[in-house]
Amino acid sequence: MRMGRALLTAVVSLVLAAGTLAPAAARPAPDPAPPPVPVSGDRGIPPLTDERGRTLTLRGWNVEDKANSGEAALSAITERHFSDLRASGFDFARLLVFWDDLEPRRGRYSERYLRRIERVLDWARNHRVRVLIDAHQDVFGPAFGHRGIPAWATRTDGLPFTPHPDDWFAEYFEPAVQRAFTHLYEDPDLQRAQAAMWQVLAARFGRHPAVIGYDLINEPMGELRPGEDLPTAARRIEAEQLTPMYNRLARAIRAEDPDTWLFVEPTPIVGEGVPTGLGRVHDRRTVYAPHFYDTAMEAGADYDPAAGWIEAYEAAVTAYPAEHRMPVVVGEWGPLNNALPNMGRFYDEAVASLNRYSSGWAGYVWCYGGGYCALDERGRFRTNKERTATPYAPAVAGRVRSAAYDAATRVYRLDYRAAARPDSTELSLPPSARGWQVSVTGAARVLGEARHGGRLRVVARPGAVVTVTVREAGAHGRTDHP
């Protein structure tokens, strides 16, 4: 979500009134070497796992082509996207696909589009990048000048729609758009069409080795009732419309694919520290996939550490997955104005927060240029976005006891108890001109060489307690934080 300025005052005031985003006092500078932070399992949130039972951590970026559709769909995505992702230390991509490209006419699925998705997935597999297939929509779809749900599946009952070219998120609150969501959620024929669309994707890509999951709908919204405030409406939409939709789609997908993870999102209002109203999704392999955007920063403001937004978000977003025993993967995050004075601090504190409770995240967006792009035209990280590339453990063969990266000292520590049967733990180290120093304690050894970045394996005696420390050579800490 990239919320427009026109909604900033209204949304923030509503959330403040609800007591979910109370300002916090200014915090002192962090200690130079804090202890490792407990992993998500210590909050009652289970980790994401692979087919071998290893604990997974996904780190990566969204990959998209919103500009091209039809014959040119996905043409802006190249193999370079995945080779550069992997070379920078990442192993995860959230791939945006669009129902209007897949099914431009009702009941007629585009074989050309399916082949193009497959080509992108093959590139990801070649570079060992896991992919989440995201059924993306912005402002519902092409009937309102955006991408997502096809025009033939858009029903407005003749309600008005006024474009907001300078504030596109405000278009979600146009009567025609809101009514279109109601029909999608409640009309039986549209319910069947959405389920059939997902069955086509699951049947085609469920066995593809790059695919780790399906994100069932991006940033779902809905229709506000007269006199209803936004947080109340969001929780009602989540409870009464999104939860049944997710259960319908889960049943449909499982008819074609029994194992791939299903990712479910709340409304974007969760970004303001509003706890979700989602109910139980009756599927054993479901991931909670909220987004992590601050309204003030999306409206152009710098990060304000004293506002307490990260703390409020973290408190609100962890209750649902803890209650329902679901892993968390944050599907989008990252500010537009990444070079403002406090943004270095934001990136460090945001990454630390995300790593406390989630099994991973995808920044927005892996592209080459300006705006939200992670990289400039030459493929170099834009200001502060390099702070997302830190050492981590993509797969741990055992139970993670703690894991943390200290941005000030550039030290990563992983503490885990090895699994009962032999297997290997993977480490990912981003490129470093200084080089990395890796040490291990416990009955374990490190295999491989990645002094200046790359992948390592750790093999431990079954049941052993292992601590891995990764330190950047010659680093003496940063002085960004006041």
- Residue 43, pLDDT score: 79
- What does the DSSP assignment read for 306-368? GG-HHHHHHHHHHHHHHHHT--B-B--B--S-TTSTTHHHHHHHHHHHHHHH-SEEEES---B
412 and 383 within one domain: no
- What mean pLDDT is reported for the chain? 91
452 and 329 within one domain: no
- Residue 273, pLDDT score: 87
Whether 263 is covered by a domain: the verdict is yes
- 434: its two tokens: 């200084």
Q: What is the pLDDT of residues 31-60, one digit of tens each?
A: 333 334 444 556 799 999 999 999 999 999
Does residue 14 have a pLDDT over 70? no
CATH number of the domain that 470 lies in?
2.60.40
367 and 345 within one domain: yes
Report helix, strand or coil for 443. Answer: coil
* pLDDT tier at 271, thresholds 50, 70, 90: confident
> Is residue 170 within 8 Å of 4, Cβ to Cβ?
yes
159 and 265 within one domain: yes
Q: Report how far apart, in Å, the C-alpha atoms of 356 and of each of 39, 148, 169, 263, 478 are.
A: 6, 32, 30, 19, 21
State how far the Cα of 299 lies from the Cα of 293, in Å rounded to an integer: 11
326 and 277 within one domain: yes
Residue 446 identity (one-letter amino acid): V
Whether 80 is covered by a domain: the verdict is yes
395 and 375 within one domain: no
383 and 240 within one domain: yes
State how far the Cα of 350 lies from the Cα of 197, in Å rounded to an integer: 35
Whether 14 is covered by a domain: the verdict is no
Q: Report how far apart, in Å, the C-alpha atoms of 220 and of each of 7, 188, 210, 403 are.
A: 17, 18, 26, 32
Whether 26 is covered by a domain: the verdict is no
CATH number of the domain that 378 lies in?
3.20.20.80
Q: Report how far apart, in Å, the C-alpha atoms of 131 and of each of 194, 304, 317, 355 are.
A: 21, 33, 23, 19
> Is residue 419 within 8 Å of 462, Cβ to Cβ?
yes
* pLDDT tier at 1, thresholds 50, 70, 90: low
258 and 366 within one domain: yes
375 and 235 within one domain: yes
- Residue 69, pLDDT score: 97
pTM: 0.92
Does residue 203 have a pLDDT over 90? yes
435 and 315 within one domain: no
Report helix, strand or coil for 102. Answer: helix
290 and 406 within one domain: no
* pLDDT tier at 197, thresholds 50, 70, 90: very high
Domain boundary residue, one of 389, 408, 431: 389
Q: What share of the chain is helix, strand, coil (3-state, %, to 5)?
A: 35, 20, 45
> Is residue 85 within 8 Å of 366, Cβ to Cβ?
yes
Does residue 19 have a pLDDT over 60? no
Whether 168 is covered by a domain: the verdict is yes
Structural domains in the chain (count) = 2
State how far the Cα of 56 lies from the Cα of 29, in Å rounded to an integer: 31
Whether 450 is covered by a domain: the verdict is yes
279 and 401 within one domain: no
Smallest CA-to-CA distance from 243 within 288, 213, 200, 187 is with 288
- Residue 15, pLDDT score: 42
* Domain assignment of residue 413, given as a range: 390-482
Enumerate long-range contacts of 397-401, CB under 8 Å, 24 or more apart: 397/52, 397/54, 397/423, 397/424, 397/425, 397/460, 398/54, 398/55, 398/425, 398/460, 398/466, 399/41, 399/55, 400/39, 400/41, 400/47, 400/55, 401/39, 401/465
Residues 438-467 have a mean pLDDT of: 97
Residues 6+ apart with CB under 8 A from 279: 238, 239, 243
Does residue 386 have a pLDDT over 90? yes
Residue 19 identity (one-letter amino acid): G
Domain boundary residue, one of 351, 373, 389: 389
Smallest CA-to-CA distance from 15 within 3, 25, 4, 23 is with 23
Q: Which H helix or E strand runs over 97?
A: strand 92-97
Domain boundary residue, one of 344, 361, 389: 389
Smallest CA-to-CA distance from 268 within 201, 173, 131 is with 173
User: Whose structure tokens read 């694919």?
Assistant: 257
**H helix and E strand count, the chain:** 11, 16
Residues 378-403 have a mean pLDDT of: 98
Whether 49 is covered by a domain: the verdict is no
State the pairing for strand pair 92-97/130-135.
parallel
